[in-house]
Structure 1
Amino acid sequence: MKKQWGRLEAWLRSNNPALLADLNPPASDADIQKLELQLGVELPTDFVGCLKVHDGQRGGAGCLFSDSEFLSSQRILKEWAIWKDLHDGGDFDDAEAESGTGIQPVWWSPKWIPFTYNGAGDHLCLDLDPAGGGRAGQVITLWHDDGSRKKKADSFAQWFAEFVDKTV
């Protein structure tokens, strides 16, 4: 993870120093423990490694991941809590999802952990409760107004490496 971050940071230093400066310092072990406790999950080690380099971004200099902000541990919890409240309130009871192979056929699962946010209610999530044929920790899409759920990568490390390779 550190190698990929090093490549991305070098590219940002030359091409978008404001976005580099917008990245938060590393999450502490206590921050990660608190996040896992409140989410009720154990986060994948590759994602924890990412947060230990940069705990998301402040959100004042544009989007790190194409058209989406990289969420800090605090923002992950905030975005997850919005979805959890809607879920617990029954808002998704009649919603139909079109899930790809290996993804639960539900509108939202409490074990889908958002790590990006596009400003319109859409996320990329870590799927910690995949369906048969899926892998815990796979990266999936989550749209607020569309039930299509697709896998973007088998793991956060794979997704991040592909992002860095396309960017730099």
Structure 2
Amino acid sequence: MKNQKIEIENLWNRFKIWITSNAPHLSRELQPAILPEEINKLQQTIQTELPEDFIAFLSIHNGQNRNADGFIKAEELLSSNRIIDEWKIWYDLYQSGDFEDSEAEPDEEIKDFWWNPKWIPITYDGSGNHLCIDMDPTENGTKGQIIRMWHDDSVREFIAPSFKIFFENYCKSLENNKYVYSDEWGGIVSREDI
């Protein structure tokens, strides 16, 4: 866990350096570190343990303030409370049978569900779509992998084998000038999208 925390701390520092140079106002939108009781509440609510790399991430900054510009591809980087909010919405729909007749088109690393209680939302685009930590992959996947889940599209896309690798790839893309801050789009977006 110690090495994991150091690696994640280094990635956070790279991310914050980019923000300071490209969108300094976003620095004020970072939440403080998650508290141990908040980690317990989160894991008890979602009924699963989170990967160490994501806990290390939250232990530095517990996501961003709600209603601020999006940190990850113009999407809100969810705090633990916001993860609980979004997960509960999906869980209630799941429990009520809303997805029983829905067919997904998952990549081979992802189980064939419209939604799975072990998919933990970590971003939110304001329209019901998320990047999720997948704690229940297929044998071709990796526990803790990052996937894309759409609320109104059957595609379920594999993004990265772990949160750390996802965040590292994102930092590299920021540093390689593949992303810009856009006031019009409400956050950090790919140059290709503007």
- 1:30 matches 2:21: no
1:90 aligns with 2:97: yes
Instruction: Output the amino acid matched with 1:136.
Output: K
C-alpha displacement of 1:67: 2.0
The alignment status of 1:15 with 2:22, answered yes or no, reads yes
Aligned sequence identity (%): 43
**Is the aligned partner of 1:61 residue 2:68?**
yes
Measure how far apart 1:136 and its partner are.
0.3
Structure 2 letter corresponding to 1:46 = D
Secondary structure, counterpart of 2:94 in structure 1: helix
Structure 2: give runs of 5+ residues left out of the alignment: 1-7, 176-194
After TM superposition, give the deviation of residue 38 of structure 1 in Å: 0.9
The reply to whether residue 165 of structure 1 matches residue 165 of structure 2 is no
Query: Which deviates more from structure 2 when the two are superposed, residues 112-121 or residues 8-17?
Result: 8-17
The number of aligned residues is 168
Compute the displacement of 1:57 (Å): 0.5
2:51 is aligned with 1:44:
yes
TM-score, normalised relative to structure 2: 0.85
Answer whether contact 2:68 2:76 (CA < 8 A) is retained. no
Structural mapping, 1:85-164, within 5 Å: 85-164=92-171
Q: CA offsets, 1:35-78, max 9 Å, x none?
A: 00111101000000100111010034310001211000000000
State whether structure 2 residue 83 is matched by structure 1 residue 72. no
Task: State the shift of 1:13 in Å.
Answer: 1.5
Q: Is there any run of 5+ residues in structure 1 with no aligned partner, and where?
A: none
Alpha-carbon RMSD across the aligned residues, in angstroms, is 0.8
Provide Cα deviations, 1:120-157, integer angstroms capped at 9, x if missing partner. 10000000001121110000011000011011000000
| Structure 1 stretches of 4+ moved >2 Å | none
> Equivalents in 2 of 1:64, 1:33: separation in Å?
25
Matched-pair contact (CA < 8 Å) for 2:120–2:132: yes
Which whole-Å CA distance do the structure 1 matches of 2:83 and 2:67 have between them?
A: 17
SS in 2 for 1:150: strand
Counterpart CA distance in 2 for 1:142 and 1:91 is 16
Q: Per the alignment, in what secondary structure is the counterpart of residue 147 of structure 2?
A: strand
> Deviation at 1:11?
1.5
